[in-house]
Homo-oligomer: A and B are copies of this chain.
Amino acid sequence: MPKETFFNINTEKRKLITTAFLREFALKPFDEASISEVVKRLGIAKGSIYQYFEDKLDLFLYLLKESGDIKKNYVGSIERESYPNFWAFFKALYEAGLQFDKESPLHSHFLFNLIKNLQSPTMEHLYKEMLQSTVLAFEEMVKTEIEKGLFRNDISPDTMGFMLYRVGVSIQEQMEFKSIINPKESILNSEPVYKDKNEQLMNMVDDYILLVKPAFDKN
């Protein structure tokens, strides 16, 4: 939670700062991200950052929450009931994600890099926590589908939940692996992660669904 002062400053300046640090954390793991470098680039005093935030972690957590909140605006309204099956719902989440990516590219980059960012020893605790809650959410979805009789019930739902979570990560990672997207580069231009690549992402999602569907669906 930033200090009040942060919310009192000029909106434009606030955005400048936010932007600069989103970028930094989108490029480097927490422990390697450098406040000093960013303020130098921003041309503001290092002390100022500590007027706004308790410390580096506070700053990071603020960006995390902000990014999460914004993403929720896009993804939060998607509900399972509105879709004929889980996979349609799953795809819808990605489509919403693309909208978010397009309209808040830096927040998107920040979240894109989150897993890597959390590998820093300093972040170990937070990492476990976030993983836990993310996986849990997927587990819940799986359980619901199993109850509906739509997913198989011969494999423990936690393994299936974890796998589903992993699918998400894989998709993103494969896009990068195949050099379809190039985050490091697009960050610098404040361009969306998936700029001009929406279709290719959705194709990849389709592929994954094709692959995973028979593994999850009953029969």
Query: What residues of chain A have their CB less than 8 Å away from a CB belonging to chain B?
Result: 27-29, 31-32, 116, 119-121, 124, 128, 131-132, 135, 154-156, 158-160, 162-163, 166, 169-170, 173-174, 177-178, 184, 204, 207-208, 210-216
Contact = CB atoms under 8 A, between A and B. Distances in A.
13 contacts: A32-B32, A32-B121, A132-B177, A154-B210, A159-B204, A162-B170, A163-B170, A163-B208, A166-B166, A166-B173, A211-B215, A214-B215, A215-B215
Contacts of A166: 166, 169-170, 173
Nearest to A135: B177
Complex copy number for this chain: 4
A182 B213 CA distance: 32
Nearest to A206: B155
B211 A121 contact: no
Contacts of A28: 121
Contacts of A159: 174, 204, 207-208, 211
